Structure 1
């Protein structure tokens, strides 16, 4: 584990003594991303596929339903992986993993996401 030390000694005249873990910074999500992960808990697996004829017929008969898809591609890849993880645990689809990593997330964030969802599923 790598640490970055941002501290000045008393000899330098400073009193700041903060240590930040570079590994934790690389594996954390922004508050908005955590909200998306929590909201994905309530999305069904059907939200991952494109609407078909049956979905359009139900929309025509019963009215429009909320579309859970996000306009931001990066956040949508996070939502798709989170939905799959909420329903399937660690057995997520490889295509969602690839899209997640391609969107700019890293493997530490993937581990954090899957571990957090797994812990919540057990509770």
Structure 2
């Protein structure tokens, strides 16, 4: 499955609106690391022919007495976007981790992904911000 995830990831994120420069080797390492993180959860969808159409990966993190879920990557093939696949991926993860208090993720501000996540119940964090170092 990792090979299929890698192929879809590179295919999706090297195109607009992301235009990232992913080499398959690096994408495979990134996804492998996510999938092997302790308390990782993932799900995927396939088309009628068995071809991967989307996936989502994240992991649980303990926060006090509850669990939070970091959605690390979600990817839907560009030809299959706006067909409800992303929402189904989120719903499937939610059934696998029903006792999670909060979900969080990082994505570009004014992107189609941000609009998608907001339509699925996410909101921008008001108290937190992201800091980067060079």
Q: TM-score, normalised by structure 2?
A: 0.27
Which of structures 1 and 2 has the bigger CA Rg? 1
Q: TM-score, normalised by structure 1?
A: 0.28
More helix by share: 1
Of the two structures, which has the highest relative contact order with CA contacts closer than 8 Å and spacing of 6 or more? 1
